[in-house]
Amino acid sequence: MKWLWAPWRMAYISSGGPKECIFCTKGVSSNEKEDLVLFKGKRCFVLMNLYPYNPGHLMVAPYRHVGNLTELDVDERNELMELIVKSIAILQKVMNPDGFNVGVNLGRVAGAGVEGHVHFHVVPRWSGDTNFMTVVGDVKVMPELLSSTYEKLVVHFVEKK
């Protein structure tokens, strides 16, 4: 039997999850690079997923702590969608994926890990990105460090004045 070591995962597994809302915390953070925040808009922001499904897995969330799309005002909904579209365009340019999964999980039974703060996932997909490691070993191989992906993407989120 061969072993694949991922010791950094134990900190997350044994922590029992975040004690406070990660979106509320990262939305007001002044250390964007450490918190993987790529862009801060007026009402919403874009950040990288610390535990991504694929390289370039982004999340787009409002600053306001609401658990459902129906609780967002029209300006929040509009900015949320604009940032999702912007994220897709940047990921297409920088990472050249074959497609995307874009979605939101509303409620724990729908798979929401942070059910109290609505957020969208933008996940780039490549042909063949699910292979024997994922299917047989239930292991995902991430071919790039988060910090490297962050540096590639963040320059494209900068607003051109």
Q: CB–CB of 21/114 below 8 Å?
A: yes
pLDDT the model gives residue 132: 46
Q: CB–CB of 72/80 below 8 Å?
A: yes
Dist. CA 102–CA 123, nearest whole Å? 6
Kindly name the residue from 57, 65, 117, 119 that is annotated as catalytic.
Answer: 119
pLDDT digit string, tens, across residues 52-88: 888 999 999 999 999 999 999 999 999 999 999 999 9
Digitized pLDDT (tens) for each residue of the chain, 161 residues in all: 555 566 656 666 666 666 788 899 888 888 899 999 999 999 999 999 988 888 999 999 999 999 999 999 999 999 999 999 999 999 999 999 999 999 998 877 777 677 789 999 999 998 877 654 454 445 556 667 888 889 899 999 986 54
pLDDT the model gives residue 134: 52
One-letter identity of residue 102: V
Can you spell out the DSSP letters for 61-94? EESS--SSGGGS-HHHHHHHHHHHHHHHHHHHHH
Hey, what domains does the chain have and what are their CATH numbers? 20-155 (3.30.428.10)
Q: How far apart are the first and last CA of the chain?
A: 56
pLDDT the model gives residue 99: 94
| Sheet containing strand 99-104, strands side by side | 37-40, 44-48, 58-62, 120-125, 99-104
pTM of the model: 0.79
Residues forming a β-bridge with 48: 58
Q: Catalytic annotation on 119?
A: yes
